[in-house]
Amino acid sequence: MGKITGFMEFDRENPPERDPLSRAADFNEYVLPVPDELLCRQSARCMDCGVPFCHAGFITDGNSIGCPLRNLIPEVNDLVYRGNVKAAYARLRVTNPFPEFTGRVCPALCEGSCTLGEHGDPVTVKLIEKFAADEAAKEGFYKSERAPRIGKKAAVIGAGPSGLAAAEYLNRFGADVTVFEKADRPGGLLMYGIPNMKLDKKIVMSRAAELKKEGVEFVFGAEVGVNYPLIDIVRGFDAVVVCIGAGRERRINADGADNDGVVTAMTYLTASTRAVLAKKPSEISAKGKRVIVVGGGDTGTDCVATAVRQGAAGVVQLEIMPPPPDKRPDSTPWPLFPRLFKTDYGHKEAAAVFGADPRRFLTTVKRINGKNGRVVSADVVKVRWEGRNFVEDAKPQTLPADLIITAMGFLGPQTEIINELGLKTDPRGNIAADRFETGVPGIFAAGDARRGPSLVVWAISEGINAAKACLRLFGDK
């Protein structure tokens, strides 16, 4: 434990951010590097409380408690406080192969379960994790190593966080791993979903390059079951881990949705990141357009932030649900992770550029209006919830729009591999794989494809656990 009175002496300080107005002019990361002295104060707040739910990592009644990776949080905090960042990073890597990702994009489930959070502000665990990962990259703490081989071949389908984690773990324990990925780059949603200002794509590329150095092979442009024969993979490998994500997007169900200028979030965000990487304007740009983002979740917020950067004339974000509460509700007492109202990076930027928060809660789209096949406006309507159903207000309002981006969630994994292998699915269409085993011998599943749309930290945890299941199979043979 760092400083015995640290939690009484120091208040929580959040990661320093660039000014919302100036950062909205580029796609560089919006969180600034963390100063050493801030880290020292913040890690001193961890009191190694003896009931460290922060690294409990389980789900109860659909709510999570602590870090799904079971990061050794009090130990890491203590090592950072003592200035031994190299050891802190090594400790992080015991449980988390990618702290540079989670330190940037994790919603910090651990902080929702921090004992300090019961009566005040939790320890800034995520900030400390990012600091250790960034220091490791800067100082070269991590040395790629190739483990002795065990003579088993594993294929991983999908190079998102679950696929990368499965590949890393299998390779670490000596399996020969090939990752098949339909896109042209690794990362899955880390690459083409989460925008560059939250996670610089250089970080994803560099981590994948390290895996390659350690022996993991990548085949890009291989959409297994579509342009790459699944049978070759099933016959050519001792085990296959299916990590294909839950990429089927929910479409908007409103008249006029077929007009030009109505796009899904992933179409929009992928085009934007491709353009950022190519240093060219995006094929689907919000420049000079009045934008409506339908969906108030994190994906919708990433669309708001992207549209602001592209020079939108205005952005409105619609959310059908009411705003979450400001304070921990009774339904999620400590140490459960609470869903609280937050003003995210994109909201701050939209407010700085346009003078107002872009969000409208309890509002949905009733109809999309077009002229000559192009969207010109949307009729939106206020709703009121009665139990599980909503009732629309009688009077819609027409909002002008040149671009409507729908960020309404995902329906589950693509079905080609599922159908060809005859994999069982759960009632939501996700691959049914109890203990990560699909029921078809040698075929495992992990990540969003198995648990449904979730989080990077859960995807990493799933990838590791599926790899462990594979290794058990290899051990049995």
Ligand X SMILES: Cc1cc2nc3c(=O)[nH]c(=O)nc-3n(C[C@H](O)[C@H](O)[C@H](O)COP(=O)(O)OP(=O)(O)OC[C@H]3O[C@@H](n4cnc5c(N)ncnc54)[C@H](O)[C@@H]3O)c2cc1C
Size of the site for ligand SF4 (CB under 6 A): 14
Distances in Å between the Cα of 89 and the Cα atoms of 32, 55, 307, 420 are: 19, 16, 36, 42
- Return all residues near 126 (Cβ < 8 A) that are at least 6 apart: 15, 102, 103, 106, 108, 110, 111
254 to 290, 399, 402: CA distances (angstroms): 19, 15, 16
Picking from 159, 211, 165, the residue whose alpha carbon sits closest to that of residue 186 is 159
* Residue 456 interacts with ligand X (CB under 6 A): yes or no: yes
Q: Is 471 in the site for ligand X (CB under 6 A)?
A: no
Looking at the Cβ atoms of 198 and 207, the one nearer to ligand X is 198
- Give least dist CB 69 to ligand SF4, A: 5
Q: How far is the CB of 372 from ligand X (least distance, A)?
A: 31
CB of 119 to ligand X, least distance (A): 27
Which region among 101-109, 135-143, 164-172, 326-334 touches ligand SF4 (by CB under 6 A)? Answer: 101-109
108 binds ligand SF4 (CB under 6 A): yes
Indicate the helix (H) or strand (E) that contains 398: strand 397-400
CB nearer to ligand X: pick between 264 and 377: 264
Least Cα distance to 439 among 421, 454, 461 occurs for 421
Strands (E), 90-144: none
Interaction between residue 159 and ligand X (CB under 6 A):
yes
Footprint (CB under 6 A) of ligand X, residues 432-451:
447-449
Which of 56, 246, 254, 457 lies at the binding interface for ligand SF4 (CB under 6 A)? Answer: 457
In the sheet that 176-181 helps form, which strands lie side by side, from edge to edge?
217-220, 176-181, 153-157, 239-242, 443-445
The item of ligand SF4, ligand X, none sharing an interface with residue 464, based on CB under 5 to 8 Å by kind, is none
Name the minimum Å distance from CB 457 to ligand SF4. Answer: 4
Is residue 104 a contact partner of residue 31, using CB atoms and an 8 Å limit?
A: yes
**Binds ligand SF4 by CB under 6 A, chosen from 24, 44, 46, 67:** 67
Among ligand X, ligand SF4, none, what binds residue 223 when CB lies within 5 to 8 Å by partner kind? ligand X
Taking CB under 6 A as the criterion, the residue among 34, 65, 127, 243 binding ligand X is 243
Strand, coil or helix: 384 = strand
Give the CA-trace dihedral at 152, 156, 159, 162, to 10 degrees: -100
Distance of CA 400 to the CA centre of its chain: 31
Site for ligand X, residues 268 to 287, rule: CB under 6 A: 269
Q: Which residues does residue 120 pair with via DSSP β-bridges, in sequence order?
A: none
Which residues inside 212-231 make contact with ligand SF4, applying CB under 6 A?
none
Residue 316's closest CA among 296, 291, 285? 291
- Choosing from 31, 85, 88, 110, the residue that interacts with ligand SF4 (CB under 6 A) is 110
* Choice between 135 and 298, CB closer to ligand X: 298
Between helices 298-310 and 345-354, what is the axis angle to 10°? 40
Q: How many residues bind ligand X (CB under 6 A)?
A: 41
73 makes contact with ligand SF4 (CB under 6 A): yes
Scanning 107-115, 143-151, 172-180, 320-328 for contacts with ligand SF4 by CB under 6 A, the matching segment is 107-115
Give per-residue burial for 385-410: e unless 16+ CB within 10 Å, then b. eeeeeeeeeeebeebebbbbbbbbeb
Q: How far is the CB of 458 from ligand X (least distance, A)?
A: 7
Residue from 189, 208, 262, 470 binding ligand X (CB under 6 A) = 189
Secondary structure (3-state) at 222: coil
Residues that bind ligand X (CB under 6 A): 105-106, 157-163, 180-183, 188-190, 193-194, 198, 222-225, 243-245, 247, 269, 298-299, 302, 414, 417, 447-449, 454-457, 459
